[in-house]
Amino acid sequence: MSTYDVIVIGSGPGGEGAAMRLAKAGKEVAVVEEGLQLGGNCTHRGTIPSKALRHAIQLLADYRHHPLFEHTLSAAEISWPQLLHTSDQVISQQVSMLHRYYTRNHVHVFHGRGRFTDAHTLEVVNLDGSTQTLEAAQFIVATGSRPWRPAELDFSHPCIRDSDTLLDMDHTPRQVTIFGAGVIGCEYASIFANLDVKVNLVNTRDRLLSFLDDEVTDALSYHLRDQGVLLLHNEALGSVVADEQSVTLTCKSGRVIRSEILLWANGRSGNTADMGLEALGIAINSRGQIETNDRFQSSQEHIYAVGDVAGPPGLASASYNQGRFVGTFIAEGKVDWRLVDEVPTGIYTSPEISSLGRTEAELTKQNVPFEVGRAEFKNLARAQISGHTTGMLKILFHRETLEILGIHCFGQEAAEIIHIGQAIMSQPGSGNNLRYFAETTFNYPTMAEAYRVAALYGLNRIG
């Protein structure tokens, strides 16, 4: 039996953040990874391949729409498998980098599936079928999530896919129906639309991504429709029937939609099955997620859960920080947990969406006196040069103190632009102030200049 200070289960962002922090604190750390390679679902089935795919398709769309090159290349000339292969090199680089990190920091890696046999013992079934026993004082479960699959859908049928099996598709479909209009559904709607694939996006709610600012979601809906996506709101699953060449979705409303591929994108489940957690009295909700307190501890205080397996927000960036902060708490006994609360949202639709802080609806409900500063991308020289003039930056700030309360961005590179505002919002006291952007010189022409434009607009609003 091998004994460690901490065993981390899962090598995705949450597991990586925890293992690296603990190793640098001098702890004896082991990582148990179920897959053949390091990186978890994020690297191999989720964030990295989907974002590399999105980037390749965006380049293709930009090329086709550029006035010098339009009509010289059709989307039909580039196949889905060819586009998927663009992520192979990135995945390989990520895996090699992680391997170097773990080796350099003397973290022991076991490739196999871990299962608790008691509160401090983990049995690992190796990839070759053999087993070994590991023991530790503390554990961090960072096993991630997988697409939730309702029992009535036959996912072995080639016409019925989820976000994992979509990456194995060997052809470019002509028409796709996406059931579920959350982040994954909206991102893939944009991806397929930019490939000139007909898309039906079926939403179980009355609007897209209702946790975002209303103006942003309205803009997203408009541009998805402009790209040819058919949006269907307030629908519920009735039945699905698939034949050799197509799949027919019937909604409870009676609407019937026939397409070549059905992409199920309606929720995810935590990877907690058959880990022996229930026998330890650890609570797991209906989505397979471990119930934790505000320090990411389960009902067994020495067993932590971070990342997707612990629930929202389900972002790789948040997962990494959660793992790192739990590692700090284990190593030092204290940590400023507030720093994991304000996490920017990055949604890789076309155009991108990113936001941080409160929305207009939230501030209105809370009776906060606020004003809006905004910059339209179409007025920025850099956006005009690049041809990406769709979008805007919106800054919400307190009318009296000028404290920045929320930032919402829709457009090209939104997920990058948000971090400029994030840096100022995180400043203590009077450091978080709209005037910083009004009085700072920005390079010209840049997209960052939107902050100056939005700040001046906002200051003019309050006279």
Find residue 231's DSSP bridge partners: 201
Please check whether residues 293 and 388 belong to one and the same domain. Answer: no
> Looking at residue 69, what is its pLDDT?
64
Residues 432 and 403: beta-carbon distance below 8 Å: yes
Please check whether residues 17 and 143 belong to one and the same domain. Answer: yes
Among 266, 291, 311, the domain boundary falls at: 266
Residues 395 and 420: beta-carbon distance below 8 Å: no
> Looking at residue 87, what is its pLDDT?
85
Please check whether residues 371 and 429 belong to one and the same domain. Answer: yes
Residues of the chain with pLDDT under 50: none
Least Cα distance to 194 among 69, 65, 82, 87 occurs for 65
Please check whether residues 202 and 298 belong to one and the same domain. Answer: no
Please check whether residues 223 and 306 belong to one and the same domain. Answer: no
Among 218, 243, 266, the domain boundary falls at: 266
Q: In terms of DSSP bridges, do strands 268-270 and 391-398 run parallel, antiparallel, or are they unpaired?
A: unpaired
Q: Is residue 137 included in any domain, yes or no? A: yes
Among 308, 340, 372, the domain boundary falls at: 340
Please state the domain count of the chain: 3
- Single pTM value for the model: 0.93
Please check whether residues 201 and 256 belong to one and the same domain. Answer: yes
Distance CA 17, CA 326 (A): 9
Please check whether residues 25 and 141 belong to one and the same domain. Answer: yes
Provide the 8-state DSSP code for 348.
-
Distance CA 235, CA 250 (A): 10
Please check whether residues 361 and 435 belong to one and the same domain. Answer: yes
Question: In the numeric block, which tokens belong to residue 291?
Answer: 């119930």
Distance CA 63, CA 133 (A): 54
Q: Is residue 76 included in any domain, yes or no? A: no
Q: In terms of DSSP bridges, do strands 404-411 and 391-398 run parallel, antiparallel, or are they unpaired?
A: antiparallel
Q: Is residue 111 included in any domain, yes or no? A: yes
Q: Is residue 73 included in any domain, yes or no? A: no
Please check whether residues 7 and 112 belong to one and the same domain. Answer: yes
Q: Is residue 322 included in any domain, yes or no? A: yes
Q: Is residue 81 included in any domain, yes or no? A: no
Q: Is residue 74 included in any domain, yes or no? A: no
Residue 16's alpha-carbon distances to 44, 90, 187, 213, in angstroms, are 15, 17, 26, 32
Amino acid letter, residue 74: S
Backbone φ, ψ for residue 432 (5° rounding):
-85, 95
Least Cα distance to 6 among 21, 41, 98 occurs for 21
Please check whether residues 143 and 43 belong to one and the same domain. Answer: yes
Which residue segment(s) compose the domain that 375 sits in? Answer: 351-461
Strand extents, DSSP E, 225-332: 229-232, 237-242, 247-251, 256-259, 261-264, 268-270, 303-305
Distance CA 267, CA 148 (A): 5
Please check whether residues 12 and 127 belong to one and the same domain. Answer: yes
> Looking at residue 72, what is its pLDDT?
64
Provide the 8-state DSSP code for 412.
T
Q: Is residue 55 included in any domain, yes or no? A: no
Domain of 230, CATH number, reads 3.50.50.60
Please check whether residues 94 and 235 belong to one and the same domain. Answer: no
Domain of 365, CATH number, reads 3.30.390.30
